[in-house]
Structure 1
């Protein structure tokens, strides 16, 4: 009964928060922007990002155009900091990023995170309508105990901070990167989400659903 009740709550909240077709998301509040940027110095972070050659892959303002390389613009600084810490400690593996993060101190991580968080994420081309992906995003799948994407990543996939956990912005991310990371979570190459939640989610998804979700999310 509890699972059924939680499912109905998720369905009701998702329906109430469902974006209106063709409507722009409301502008982020000043408090929301402050929360996104965190405690770092964006101006110092820009200089540090340039010296570390971050822009070479991720774009001058964090809007990557390279296949498989994520957009950092508009991401929560706290999430970026955690990923860089994980790269630095080798709890997340990527040959290039492990080497890049190795020499960065905590203040560097905060500043670089603040810089990219302060930038505006560019839109991708709208994806073709996909009801399967949209339903997974909004409602999940109770038959597989699969939570909806919005339950963590919030309305329109813009991310949020809740109970000390930063859930990343996934809307308008590059679809190649989204697909790669979901596959990495599915097969256990990547294991650094809190309590392994993304491994559980991705394990329940078929490869066809992963492709569809990556396409859908990239177009939000």
Structure 2
């Protein structure tokens, strides 16, 4: 009988929780760069809205533990407890993702689409580029941020949990990266 009550209590709690009812206190600080609702307007800053919760949690822990180094993020994450990191991740994951940028040059977009297929970006990031688990959403992300991130991965200056992105981007030219970023930034978002 105790098991039934515990299960019922958990179900009731889950049903009455509103994912984005209130932003965690730390979200105000995050919003200065990443946008009040997680949609960045600053150059080379990623949008957080609609990113997979596991991805967001992992990235914040990597910054907090200084495994990933970018001083503004290292400082912002310093001292956050796991529960606070998880609350921030849950909040941003619950927000509607950023809308894609307007379609750019059709020839470059087609090249980017072909490069994405050739390099199998959809295997990890999913066919709709919505991301999954520890893999980020690319659809609707800022073109300048995507290009910046790919350059960093290719140069080996962006640290993460593995080297799969360095391998995926190996041999791509600057033009390839730019066309790929353009294409990914214009892919329609899905939830």
Which whole-Å deviations, capped at 9, do the CAs of 1:38-62 have from their partners, x for residues lacking one? xx984587132335x1111111110
How far the C-alpha of 1:138 sits from its partner, in A, is: 2.1
Closer/same/farther in 2, CA of residues 80 and 72 from structure 1, 3 Å limit: same
Q: Distance in 2 between matches of 1:45 and 1:178?
A: 29
Contact 1:44 1:112 (C-alpha < 8 Å) held by counterparts: no
Aligned counterpart, 1:101: 77
Which residue in the other structure is 2:112 paired with? 133
Give matches, 1:26-37, under 5 Å: none
Larger Rg belongs to:
2
Q: Which whole-Å CA distance do the structure 2 matches of 1:100 and 1:108 have between them?
A: 12
Q: Which residue of 2 aligns with 1:218?
A: 185
List alignment gaps of at least 5 residues for structure 2. 1-16
Aligned equivalents of 1:175 and 1:99: distance in 2? 26
Extract structure 1 runs of 4+ deviating beyond 6 A. none
Query: Quick one: structure 1 residues 42 and 217, their matched pair in 2 at CA, closer, same or farther if it must change by over 3 Å?
Result: same
2:49 to 69, 73, 78: 73
TM-score, reference length from structure 2: 0.81
TM-score normalized by structure 1?
0.71
Q: Summarize the alignment of residues 1-220 of structure 1 with structure 2, pairs less than 5 Å apart.
A: 42-43=19-20, 46-51=23-28, 53-123=29-99, 124-129=101-106, 130-140=109-119, 148-161=120-133, 166-194=134-162, 196-220=163-187
Offset at residue 113 of structure 1 (A): 0.4
Structure 1 residue 199 displacement after superposition: 1.3
Q: Number of residues paired by the alignment?
A: 168
Q: Could you tell me which residue of structure 1 aligns to residue 4 of structure 2?
A: none
Relative distance call for 1:113 and 1:41 in structure 2 (3 A) is: farther
